[in-house]
Structure 1
Amino acid sequence: MTTTEYIDRIFGSLLLAGIGDALGAPTELWSIDEIMSRFGGMVSRFEEPTADTFAGANNGRRGEVTDDASQMYYLARHVSKVGGPLDQDGWVACLLDWASTSPKASFMGPSTLALVNALRGGQNFDTVGVVGNSSRKLTTMGNTNGAAMRVAPLGLIHPGNIEAACDAAVVTCLPSHDTDVAISSACAVASGCAVAVTGADVSEIVRACRDGAMRGAQLAVLHARVPPGPRLLKRLDMALEIAAGATDDRQFLYDLDAAIGASVLASESVPTAIAIFAYAGGDPLRTVALAATVGNDTDTVATMSGALAGAMHGRQGLPPGLYEEFMAVNNGEFGFEELAVGLGRIAARNAAHA
């Protein structure tokens, strides 16, 4: 693939992830029935977030991204600036820059917030969330989906290279999401994006997500804690089985919500996002519409599934209307063309030296 082709697919991934985020912002914490009643079916248009959503409570606007995609864009900007390699200090500096300068930082999730507060207070992040005087952290600390929601750029710059995508993803996990579930989840999304950007089909992308989840679990044994609770790969296989047997959109979402869930926990929202991508056949609008309708942490689910579908189809797959409105609201803050060009050049270089 040429550099131009990588740029095109990366632009599609970044934009569809953001479109999904903005579609899901007004439906976050709602149920499937509540969402479908308001929208007359699947979510396919931007709405002003209401006060009973995180976006609405933080003065989010129609078509505007939340902390999910904005963290991803800050990461993309940092990676582009340094030329690709990401170390722990660089990632922490990037995160603190986002927390200090982004208007979306007020949406910050619990694991990321705990880390940011610790770093600002001069505390060692290894001690954040520990139980008593032990070295164990609370089971919920680090098991959330923050690492997976922002990790797409680290897959996009490593075309077809699951190992490199996972190694890069782990760097962004360890400060705040240092559990096997969170690392496995981030590696699943990064690996899916790494393969999607090569022009692979849905089955190959889903297989890459599974391979990444396995690789992440292996890396977590070396670098992080394996707390009690659901394992990502097991939940992913369950979610994909539901997707494979589904024939009706609404029933598919009901079944996915009942068996897997779509909460802020990575073991729920990440398998759900990948299963939605698989069920939709990677179709860009169907993928983010279903994700924004599944209920609960809709903006995060739609960000992750949108990153996969966007990388698969590139710029031409972006939904007209939504694309133009999204650009008008968000491009001034992030400069998507520049982000895609920077990442695309790194991707082409990495592919050439793989």
Structure 2
Amino acid sequence: MLDRILGALYGMALGDSMGMPSELLSRRKIKEVFGEIKTFEDSPEANPAAIGLKKGEFTDDTAQALIIVDSLMENNYVPDKRIIAKNLIKWAVDTDAFAKNILGQSSKAALHAIQAGEDPEPYTVKAVTNGAAMRIAPIGCLFPSNDLPGLAKYVACISEATHKTDVTIGGAGMVAAAVSAALEDKSWEDIMSTAENCYMFASSYGAETYQASPKARLKLALELAEKYRDTPNRFSLSIYEIIGTTTLMSEAVPAALAMAYYYREPEVCSLACANLGGDTDTIGAMAVAVCGAKAGANGIRQELKEVLERSNHVDFSHYAESLLEHRGKVSC
């Protein structure tokens, strides 16, 4: 189990860092700038988001995911939105994330409110972007897949500092549930079913919105995966054009889970996500976390893992060991 948890963390970072250079670029622009992304790349001048990052560096997706785990360690794995907000704000200030516009819209608005001593709820109950899901993969490592109600409640407790709507908590629950099922080496069909089933539990904790359902869109995306099983380029294009790859939760989560389902192998999936277009780093982080949980750390090339650790100065084993120690023992 430790190898699979480590695989989820490496996978998250791999998908994030491989997709970093193409973040928020269109498919056409990616082809114009890179031709095709085949390995880690520096962020180009054309990138509107990951400004100044070098090959192998991950973005706010993985950084915030590790901050979530740090915040849990700080409080014996009892989620506390005040601690989570405090640590997210410290990271944002230390990295100049507010000024560089690194943060997503929902997180930025909520954290600015908390900084000003205001109630963030007017922003959290309107959040529809993917910030809660992009950083939730490690939480899937804490729960067995047969405890979706417990997982969903915990995801809600983690997310409410910045995201408190049905679609954002529901989408985050889907990603966490997929990681949980992948850790148990469930079939890819069962992994997707587990993600779909978690949506009902998790979305019930959020304020109602009129956003498209990530669960319904995932069903459609999986139909596209079967339709284009032998034509990867047509599948990728269908995700981009039909499901959507923007920062909206209702697009990014079904896109990510479908990419994981289709490509399966961590490195292959990371490259497919990097060339997908749109919110490539976030979709990659979510998708490859699931692939990594299924494959384990031993299923990811050693060279890639070394680049990730060296470029980001992170000891992923430290986090994996802590998550394993608390697996099946947490609640909120």
Aligned to 1:44: 38
> Conserved in 1, the CA contact under 8 Å of 2:21 and 2:43?
yes
Aligned to 1:272: 255
Aligned to 1:176: 162
Quick one: which of 216, 220, 223 aligns to 1:241? Answer: 223
Report deviation, 1:217.
2.4
Measure, in 1, the Cα distance between the counterparts of 2:233 and 2:180.
30
> Conserved in 2, the CA contact under 8 Å of 1:80 and 1:343?
no
Report deviation, 1:176.
2.1
Aligned to 1:227: 209
Say whether 1:118 aligns with 2:113: yes
Measure, in 1, the Cα distance between the counterparts of 2:287 and 2:269.
7
Report deviation, 1:324.
1.9
Matched letter for residue 279 of structure 2: D
Measure, in 2, the Cα distance between the counterparts of 1:24 and 1:293.
8
SS of the equivalent of 2:77 reads coil
SS of the equivalent of 1:219 reads coil
Aligned to 2:140: 155
Gap change, CA 1:102 and 1:110, over 3 Å in 2? same
> Conserved in 2, the CA contact under 8 Å of 1:66 and 1:104?
no
Gap change, CA 1:341 and 1:103, over 3 Å in 2? farther
Gap change, CA 1:299 and 1:194, over 3 Å in 2? same
Measure, in 1, the Cα distance between the counterparts of 2:34 and 2:45.
17
Quick one: which of 319, 337, 340 aligns to 2:317? Answer: 337
Measure, in 1, the Cα distance between the counterparts of 2:189 and 2:96.
37
> Conserved in 1, the CA contact under 8 Å of 2:164 and 2:205?
no
Q: Deviations over 1:326-347 (max 9, x none)?
A: 12111x2x32111111111111
Gap change, CA 1:168 and 1:54, over 3 Å in 2? farther
Aligned to 2:22: 27
Runs of 5+ in structure 2 lacking a partner? Answer: none
Measure, in 1, the Cα distance between the counterparts of 2:169 and 2:109.
17
Aligned to 2:198: 212
Report deviation, 1:38.
4.8
Matched letter for residue 301 of structure 1: I
Runs of 5+ in structure 1 lacking a partner? Answer: 130-136
> Conserved in 2, the CA contact under 8 Å of 1:202 and 1:278?
yes
> Conserved in 2, the CA contact under 8 Å of 1:188 and 1:210?
yes
Query: Normalised by the size of structure 2, how large is the TM-score?
Result: 0.92
SS of the equivalent of 2:301 reads coil
Measure, in 2, the Cα distance between the counterparts of 1:128 and 1:142.
6
Measure, in 2, the Cα distance between the counterparts of 1:200 and 1:32.
32
SS of the equivalent of 1:128 reads helix
Aligned to 2:242: 259
Measure, in 2, the Cα distance between the counterparts of 1:229 and 1:79.
30
Say whether 1:90 aligns with 2:83: yes
SS of the equivalent of 1:127 reads helix
Matched letter for residue 202 of structure 1: W
- The alignment yields a C-alpha RMSD, in angstroms, of 2.1
Report deviation, 1:320.
3.7
Report deviation, 1:151.
0.7
Measure, in 2, the Cα distance between the counterparts of 1:279 and 1:306.
11
Gap change, CA 1:31 and 1:277, over 3 Å in 2? same
Report deviation, 1:230.
1.2
Measure, in 1, the Cα distance between the counterparts of 2:68 and 2:247.
20
Quick one: which of 326, 329, 332 aligns to 1:350? Answer: 329
> Conserved in 1, the CA contact under 8 Å of 2:82 and 2:161?
no
SS of the equivalent of 1:350 reads coil
Report deviation, 1:55.
4.5
Measure, in 2, the Cα distance between the counterparts of 1:350 and 1:208.
20
Quick one: which of 278, 290, 295 aligns to 2:272? Answer: 290
> Conserved in 2, the CA contact under 8 Å of 1:80 and 1:346?
no
Gap change, CA 1:36 and 1:262, over 3 Å in 2? same
Percent sequence identity over matched residues? 28
